[in-house]
């Protein structure tokens, strides 16, 4: 058995964006071993900021983990942080006891203790890992996990980019109580801003004091070197704990090929990406001429300029880069309907996805359907509910192996919710009454505020156990917006 061992990075290391091809030696290994150590980190991406963060292997974000699809993966997690922690392997289908959810699949790992995670990562694509206890994710315990797909089209250059932000910790507590006065900072003309009503008081917003890409803020972010004629792949994660992120590369259109690591029915060309919390997108662009351009997170926050990185061709690294305005006016951004296509409005069972591996109902078989109404979150409330209950009292989804399962959400609150299912890849078949012509394979999807709807469909073929289903806005999840898919014995 061949084995590879990876040790911790130094505390001063910057997470490298460029992804060189894995070596033939690395590809030939049967088992890949990592050690991931959680520890406190004084994080200072901008001058004058001293954030009490938590980090894997001394960096925020943690190191990029890479394996070939089919390789065995082992990670020894050592917790030297200030509070109990776990590691959740987001987007993975894996043994239930390896899923890393405190109180559901394992006990949290206490201070100075360790836990061994071991599984064969599946499916291939852009995944990520993060703490699943309290505010560890918000404080920096996250990183990209790339499962290389041998069937992917090659790129001339490839970059892994984690968009993340530094929270003002005091606003997390007030947001959980529904009394935060932090403003919404989505870009002008965004759906989020258009949804707002004059009487909205919010109360659940978290304030952020710095905005980063791969652990640094502009102008200190790592520059991305490209060459004229190259076709470049970006793997992008939104690791903000509460906010949707819009990402645009000045002077270029982006061809989106994967969502949450899963191949789209067809590539989609857009001006910008709309990335919910914990969503990932793979997108390509072509370098047609020399220049320097900003890859930016768009926002109405006065500090939005910090979340940018320069993409440049040789000799242009010190040129003033072209940039994009912090607005979505006239900008075509990624939507589920754009990627999946509209079939009709109404019954999702009438529209058959063409690309999903998950079967449609056959004659005589009906999906096991579950309806969830998302509510709560009023000013001064510390409760976000599913069918009127907060976790752990929310209604559970009980399934038998082999069941065809359909989950329908209706969001009656004034906030979007990035809903995430552990241990499965589901088909998104309906969004806001629009039945998708081609189902999108996802693990996290945004359900719109003010009566927005989503319908998921999946086959209950995951390893048996209890699988968390929750909102990935950390405030909403900690305030109860969570349930479980439970496999009957």
pLDDT of 439 strictly over 60: yes
CATH homologous superfamily of 165-334? Cupredoxins -  blue copper proteins (2.60.40.420)
Q: What is the pLDDT of residue 1?
A: 35
pLDDT at 15: 67
Give Cα separations from 42 to 60, 233, 441 (angstroms).
10, 32, 38
pLDDT in tens, 358-394: 445 444 567 899 999 999 999 999 999 999 999 999 9
At 354 the pLDDT is 45
* The token pair that represents 13 in the structure block: 């290391």
Sheet of strand 308-312, all strands in order from the earlier edge strand to the far edge: 224-225, 308-312, 292-298, 245-249, 272-275
Q: Does CATH number 3.30.465.10 belong to domain 343-487?
A: no
Q: Please say if the pLDDT value at position 407 is more than 80.
A: yes
How far apart CA 213 and CA 196 sit, in angstroms, is 28
Between CA 448 and CA 430 the distance in angstroms is: 12
**Strand residue runs (E) in 100-241:** 113-119, 125-130, 142-148, 157-167, 208-213, 224-225, 231-238
> Given this chain, do its domains 165-334 and 343-487 carry the same CATH topology?
yes
Cα end-to-end distance, the chain, whole Å: 35
Q: Can you give the pLDDT at residue 28?
A: 85
Across 207-271, the runs of DSSP E, i.e. the strands, are 208-213, 224-225, 231-238, 245-249, 254-259, 262-270
pLDDT in tens, 190-248: 988 888 777 777 899 999 999 999 999 999 999 999 999 999 999 999 999 999 999 99
Structure confidence by residue, pLDDT tens digits, 249-303 = 999 999 999 999 999 999 999 999 999 999 999 999 999 999 999 999 999 999 9
Q: CB-based contacts of 436: which residues, under 8 Å, 6+ apart?
A: 336, 337, 340, 341, 342, 343, 351, 353, 428, 429, 430
Provide the mean pLDDT of the chain. 92
pLDDT tens-digit readout, 17-51: 899 888 888 888 899 999 999 999 999 999 999 99
Which class in CATH covers the domain with range 3-150?
mainly beta
Residue 82: pLDDT band with limits 50, 70, 90: confident
Beta strand 272-275 pairing with 245-249 = antiparallel
Q: Where do the structural domains in the chain lie, given as residue ranges? A: 3-150, 165-334, 343-487
382: nearest Cα among 243, 175, 207: 175
């Amino acid at each position: 058995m061949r084995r590879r061992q990876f040790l911790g990075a130094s505390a001063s290391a910057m997470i490298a964006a460029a992804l060189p091809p894995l070596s033939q030696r690395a590809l030939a290994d049967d088992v890949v071993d990592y050690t991931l150590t959680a520890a406190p980190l004084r994080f200072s991406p901008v001058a004058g900021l001293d954030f009490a963060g938590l980090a894997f292997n001394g960096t925020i974000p943690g190191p990029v983990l890479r394996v070939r699809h089919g390789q065995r993966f082992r990670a020894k997690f050592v917790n030297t942080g200030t509070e109990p922690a776990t590691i959740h392997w987001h987007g993975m289908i894996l043994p239930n006891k390896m899923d890393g959810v405190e109180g559901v699949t394992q006990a949290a790992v206490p201070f100075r203790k360790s836990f061994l995670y071991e599984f064969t990562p599946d499916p291939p694509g852009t995944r990520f890992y993060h703490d699943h206890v309290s505010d560890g994710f918000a404080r920096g315990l996250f990183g990209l996990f790339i499962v290389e797909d041998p069937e992917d089209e090659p790129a001339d250059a490839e970059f892994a980019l984690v968009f993340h932000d530094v929270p003002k910790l005091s606003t997390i507590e007030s947001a959980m109580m529904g009394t935060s006065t932090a403003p919404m900072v989505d870009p002008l003309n965004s759906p989020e801003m258009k949804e707002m009503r004059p009487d909205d008081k919010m109360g659940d917003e978290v304030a952020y004091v710095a905005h980063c890409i791969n652990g640094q803020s502009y102008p200190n972010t790592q520059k991305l070197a490209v060459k004229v004629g190259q076709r470049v792949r970006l793997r992008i994660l939104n690791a903000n704990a509460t906010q949707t992120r819009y990402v645009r590369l000045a002077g270029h259109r982006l061809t989106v090929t994967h969502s949450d690591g899963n191949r789209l029915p067809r590539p989609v060309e857009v001006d910008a990406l709309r990335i919910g919390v914990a969503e990932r997108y793979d997108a390509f662009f072509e370098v047609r001429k020399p220049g320097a351009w900003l890859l930016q997170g768009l926002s109405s926050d006065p500090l939005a300029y910090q979340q940018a990185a320069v993409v440049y061709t040789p000799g242009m690294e010190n040129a003033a880069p072209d940039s994009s305005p912090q607005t979505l006016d006239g900008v075509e951004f990624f939507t589920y309907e754009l990627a999946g296509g509209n079939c009709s409005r109404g019954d999702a069972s009438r529209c058959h996805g063409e690309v999903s591996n998950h079967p449609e109902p056959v004659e005589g078989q009906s999906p096991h359907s579950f309806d969830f109404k998302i509510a709560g979150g009023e000013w001064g409330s510390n409760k976000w509910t599913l069918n009127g209950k907060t976790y752990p009292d929310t209604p559970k989804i009980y399934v038998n192996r082999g069941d065809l399962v359909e989950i329908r959400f209706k969001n009656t609150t004034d906030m979007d919710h990035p809903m995430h299912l552990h241990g499965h890849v589901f088909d998104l078949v309906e969004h806001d009454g629009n039945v998708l012509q081609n189902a999108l394979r996802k693990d996290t999807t945004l359900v719109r505020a003010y009566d927005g709807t989503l319908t998921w469909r999946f086959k209950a073929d995951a390893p048996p156990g209890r699988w968390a289903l929750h909102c990935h806005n950390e405030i909403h999840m900690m305030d109860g917006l969570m349930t479980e898919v439970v496999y009957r014995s």
